[in-house]
Structure formats: C-alpha cells, structure tokens
Amino acid sequence: MTATTKALRGAAISIDADPFLREPRDCLTHHEDALTVISDGIVTAFGPYDPAAVRPGVEPERYEGLLCPGFIDAHVHYPQMQVIGAYGTELLEWLTTYTFPAEQSFADDAHAARVAGLFLRELLRAGTTTAVVYCTVHPGSVDAFFAESARFNTRMIAGKVLMDRNAPPALLDTAERGYTESRALIERWHGVGRQLYCVTPRFAPTSTEAQLDAAGALVRETPGVFTQTHLCENRAEIEWVRELFPARESYLDVYAHAGLVGPRSMFGHAIHMHEGDFQTCHDTGAALAFCPTSNLFLGSGLFRLYDAMDPKRPVRVGLGTDVGGGTSLSQLRSLDEAYKVVALSGAKLDAVRGFWLATAGGAEALRLGDRLGRIAPGYEADLVVLDPKATPFMAFRTGYCQSIEELLFALMIMGDDRAIRRTYVAGERVYDRDRPEQFRYP
C-alpha cells in the first residue's frame, strides 16, 4: 500500500458494454454497496463491498448518493460562455451577431484566463471531467485553458480555432500561421500531463482548402492528436459549403479530401447526414457529437441517433453541450433534451443508453475507452457522486423508483448541476457541493 491509496464506499454504477449493440440491462453494472479502491489516480478494485477487501490502514470514505464515471462532453466552446442564452438567431447569424464579437475579447490573455477558470469550475460542478473544447484563434486562449486544466489535473482535449476567411479580420489567421501556431501549441501541451491537443478548423466555410490541407498535415505529423470541427448542422450552412467547395461530393468529403476524417476525428452536430456519410464515419472510425440543447435552441434540426448507431454499421457517438449555442454545461440537462429529440424522431432513449452516451460511449468515441468512462481496474478515477435527492421534488420522485434503471431515468430527466454532490479527478475530490470551499486543486 502506498500513501496515495484510498477507497470509496457507497452505491455505484458503471456501463461496461455498448447498450446500442446489446440488451441495455446486460450492460449495466450496479452495486448497492460498492467498494472502489484507487491508487495513484487509477481504479485498482471495484465490486461489492467486502470488509476483507479493505487493506490495513485504508479507511473507506463514505458518500451518500450514486457513484458513476465522470461525464464526457464531446463538443463545447469555452469562449462562448459569455453569449449563452443570447436571443433568437439561427447558426450563421448566431456566429456573426454573438460568437465572433465574443471571441475577439480573447486576444486579452487575462480575459482568457478568467473565463478558462470559470469554465473548468462549471464543468466540474456539472460532473464533467473530460471535454473536447474549442478555444479561439488566439494561442493565448489555448494556453489559458490548458494551464487551468493542468491545475485541476483534468484530462482535456482542446485546440486553437483555425480560420483564414469569412470571419472578422481580428479573428483571421493564415494557412501558414495557423499551422505554425498550432504546431507550437502541440509541442507545448499535447501529452503533457493529462492534456491532449485537438486540431480545430472551425468549420469548412471559414477555412480555405490550403488551411484545411495544413490541418491535415498537422494530424499526419502528430501521432495521437485529435481533430474537431462542425458538420451538417444547418441547411443554409450545407448549401454554403456546396458553393465554396463545388468539387467535393459532400460536406464530409471536404474534410476527407484534406485528411481530417479518421479515428480521432470528432464532428459536431451531423444532423443532416446522408447514408454515405454515415458509412464513411463507420469505415474510418470518425465520431459524431450529439448536441441536443444547441440543436433545439438554434432550431437546427433533430439528430438521428438510431440511424447513426445502426448495428449494421455503427458510428461512434458522444454527447455534447455545445455551449454557447447549447443552453447548459450539465450533461444531465443534455440527456433530458436528447430523450425528447429521439422521441420526436419516433424512438426512445432509455437511461442505460443515455448514461452510456455521457460516459463510456463518449470515451469510446474519443478512442479513450481503455482508460475513461467506466469504473473498473486500470481506469482513471474520474468519478462523480450523483444525488437523487438534490431537491425536495427529486427526493419525492426518486423515493418511488422501483429499479436502478428507473432511478437513472429520473436523474436524466430531472437532474442538473444541483444533482452533482462530488466530482473526483484522478481520485482527488476537486469539487464538493456541500463543502464551504467547493473547488480545490488536487
């Protein structure tokens, strides 16, 4: 035993197989009284509590609630915190009216640091321990984000936005400068501690072919680097892409031609996809981010979850908040809206499948399923304690739940950041709702 070994005791769940490919109830592990042992930030044992399993000198820390893996946000913009809840436009007008003006303020490094600090804390308050994050075109915005993430020791994936056309002059780089600045950021942050870099062209209309090609070169040159961008979010956007790239067969083909479609590619939204695009994602291992609160708020459309995850050619899908087009950083709120989007599409999203999207499914989409998204030996101990009694109404409702599945569904429909009691990062309690000093660096 080392000085860094600890144990947690209480109810716990983990979803250990893909419930879109198997019977959901067979994928859920649930222990009413579980013991989770953590050493040096890694889970070393997980199962029903047994006093004999507690090693001498380690007193299990008891918690009230339900332990589950930390949530994973597959698509979010930290610079857009200051425009969340802005009124009434569709995607392209949203960008010009709200997003681009807000992002210009991140030329100020002090502003970037302040927002990054708030953003990381709000993620942890919401139980999110890993996110795929858009910064701005300014390298300082990336440095600010990763520096704060390193202080909390969170595993984050982020990158500098690339834009060399169709945006305000203050937010434009060039193909060469975007490549050079991204290369320097990769060398500074990728694989340092728990930080991972993501090559980030905003979306096809704001990058020339030369810049997209340069982004593809960054991906080829850097083993393990990620890619993120937007895809098929809005019909007017798709038509614009068709006009800008007339030689390409589809929006996705624009990225494929540049070498940006692969196993660590995350495409936000993907609402208006055709079967050929789904097949390409399946064949290449590319993933899609389902962002229900944003898609509903901006009126973009309904993501076809069950079409994407068709067992005949499943596509990897994670759950994204897409703040500030999205309306909450809470993945519980995302799941509430995801249920409604799926219902409007003529299907249903049960709790096991929902929690899979927010945990292990998100990890699988990011090719990090061997270390994130589950409670199991060898996995990083990024964990959250859910409180089914967070409000009097929730306590009343969950008091009538007859199964763990029913309890999880109530949490996913009624829950929000108030239902997050504690958040652990690599086994350290960095957020505690009931502690006077709620946030602490490990």
Phi, psi dihedrals of residue 37, rounded to the nearest 5°: -105, 135
Q: Are residues 320 and 381 in the same domain?
A: no
Looking at residue 3, its pLDDT comes to 54
Looking at residue 397, its pLDDT comes to 98
> Shortest CA distance to 49 belongs to which of 61, 57, 65?
61
Neighbouring-strand partners of residue 201 = 162
Looking at residue 92, its pLDDT comes to 87
Residue 46 lies in a domain: yes
Residue 361 lies in a domain: no
Q: Are residues 148 and 57 in the same domain?
A: no
> Shortest CA distance to 212 belongs to which of 284, 264, 283, 162?
162
Q: Are residues 59 and 85 in the same domain?
A: no
Residue 439 lies in a domain: no
Q: Are residues 287 and 184 in the same domain?
A: yes
Looking at residue 186, its pLDDT comes to 98
Q: Are residues 42 and 154 in the same domain?
A: no
242: Cβ–Cβ under 8 A, 6 or more apart, which residues?
251
Q: Are residues 307 and 390 in the same domain?
A: no
Residue 277 lies in a domain: yes
- Measured distance CA(246)–CA(241) in Å, rounded: 8
- How many other CB atoms sit within 10 Å of the CB of residue 331? 34
Residue 358 lies in a domain: no
CATH number of 207's domain: 3.20.20.140
Q: Are residues 35 and 79 in the same domain?
A: no
Q: Are residues 98 and 222 in the same domain?
A: yes
Domain endpoint, select from 294, 329, 364: 329
Report the domain count for the chain.
2
Q: Are strands 42-48 and 128-134 parallel, antiparallel or unpaired?
A: unpaired
Residue 341 lies in a domain: no
Residue 339 lies in a domain: no
Residue 283 sits in which domain range?
71-329
Q: How far apart are the first and last CA of the chain?
A: 20
CATH number of 401's domain: 2.30.40.10
Q: Are residues 76 and 34 in the same domain?
A: no
Give the amino acid at 214.
A
Looking at residue 55, its pLDDT comes to 81
Q: Is-contact 330 319, C-beta < 8 A?
A: no
Looking at residue 90, its pLDDT comes to 87
Q: What is the 3-state secondary structure (H, E, C) of the chain?
A: CCCCEEEEEEEEEEECCCCCCCCHHHHEEEEEEEEEEEECCEEEEEEECCHHHCCCCCCCEEEEEEEEECEEEEEEEHHHHHHCCCCCCCHHHHHHHHHHHHHHHHHCHHHHHHHHHHHHHHHHHCCEEEEEEECCCCHHHHHHHHHHHHHHCCCEEEECEECCCCCCHHHCCCHHHHHHHHHHHHHHHCCCCCEEEEEEECCHHHCCHHHHHHHHHHHHHCCCCEEEEEECCCHHHHHHHHHHCCCCCCHHHHHHHCCCCCCCEEEEECCCCCHHHHHHHHHHCCEEEECHHHHHHCCCCCCCHHHHCCCCCCCEEEECCCCCCCCCCCHHHHHHHHHHHHHHCCCCCCHHHHHHHHCHHHHHHCCCCCCCCCCCCCCECCEEEECCCCCHHHHHHHCCCCCHHHHHHHHHHHCCHHHEEEEEECCEEEEECCCCCCECCC
Looking at residue 91, its pLDDT comes to 84
- Measured distance CA(417)–CA(280) in Å, rounded: 36
Q: Is-contact 117 85, C-beta < 8 A?
A: no
- Measured distance CA(209)–CA(393) in Å, rounded: 53
Q: Are strands 428-432 and 420-425 parallel, antiparallel or unpaired?
A: antiparallel
Domain endpoint, select from 301, 329, 357: 329
Q: Are residues 79 and 59 in the same domain?
A: no
Q: Are residues 22 and 112 in the same domain?
A: no
Q: Which regions of the chain are under pLDDT 50?
A: 1-2
Q: Are strands 42-48 and 28-39 parallel, antiparallel or unpaired?
A: antiparallel
pLDDT, tens digit (0-9, with 9 covering 90-100), for 193-211: 999 999 999 999 999 999 9
Q: Are residues 66 and 76 in the same domain?
A: no
Residue 88 lies in a domain: yes
